Amino acid sequence: MVEIDDVITAMEDLVARHREAGDPSGYFAAMYLGVTREVERGLAEGRFARPAELEQLTVVFASRYLDASSSAAPTESWAASFDAASDRGVTAVQHLLLGMNAHINLDLGIACAEVAPGDAIDSIRVDFDEINEVLASLVGRVQDALSEISWLYRFVDDIAVTGDDAVINFSISRARSEAWDLALALAHMDPVTFGSAIERQDRAVVVLAEVIRTPPWWTRSALRVLRFTERTSVPDVIDLFARVGVPAR
**No. of helices (H) and no. of strands (E), the chain:** 12, 0
Range of the domain at 66: 4-233
Model confidence band, residue 159 (pLDDT cutoffs 50, 70, 90): very low
pLDDT, residue 132, reads: 85
- Helix axis angle for 92-102 and 191-213, nearest 10°, is 170
Percent of the chain with pLDDT over 90: 71
- With respect to residue 85, please indicate whether it lies within any of the assigned structural domains: yes
User: pLDDT tens, 192-216?
Assistant: 999 999 999 999 999 999 988 988 8
Torsion 184-7-102-80 (CA) sign: negative
- With respect to residue 238, please indicate whether it lies within any of the assigned structural domains: no
Q: Is the pLDDT of residue 161 over 50?
A: no
- Cα–chain center distance at 145: 16
Q: Is the pLDDT of residue 249 over 60?
A: no
Q: Is the pLDDT of residue 169 over 60?
A: no
pLDDT, residue 170, reads: 47
- With respect to residue 239, please indicate whether it lies within any of the assigned structural domains: no
Q: Is the pLDDT of residue 4 over 60?
A: yes
Q: Is the pLDDT of residue 246 over 80?
A: no
Name the residue among 91, 87, 131 with its Cα closest to residue 222: 91
Q: What b/e string do you get for 171-183 counting C-beta neighbours within 10 Å, with b at 16 or more? A: bbeebbeebbebb
- Cα–chain center distance at 32: 6
- With respect to residue 249, please indicate whether it lies within any of the assigned structural domains: no
- With respect to residue 19, please indicate whether it lies within any of the assigned structural domains: yes
Torsion 181-56-207-229 (CA) sign: positive
- With respect to residue 219, please indicate whether it lies within any of the assigned structural domains: yes
- With respect to residue 246, please indicate whether it lies within any of the assigned structural domains: no
pLDDT, residue 214, reads: 87
Neighbour-count burial of 230, counting CB atoms closer than 10 A to its CB (0-12 exposed, 13-18 middle, 19+ buried): middle
pLDDT, residue 168, reads: 53
Query: How many domains does one find in the chain?
Result: 1
Largest CA distance in the chain: 50
- With respect to residue 241, please indicate whether it lies within any of the assigned structural domains: no
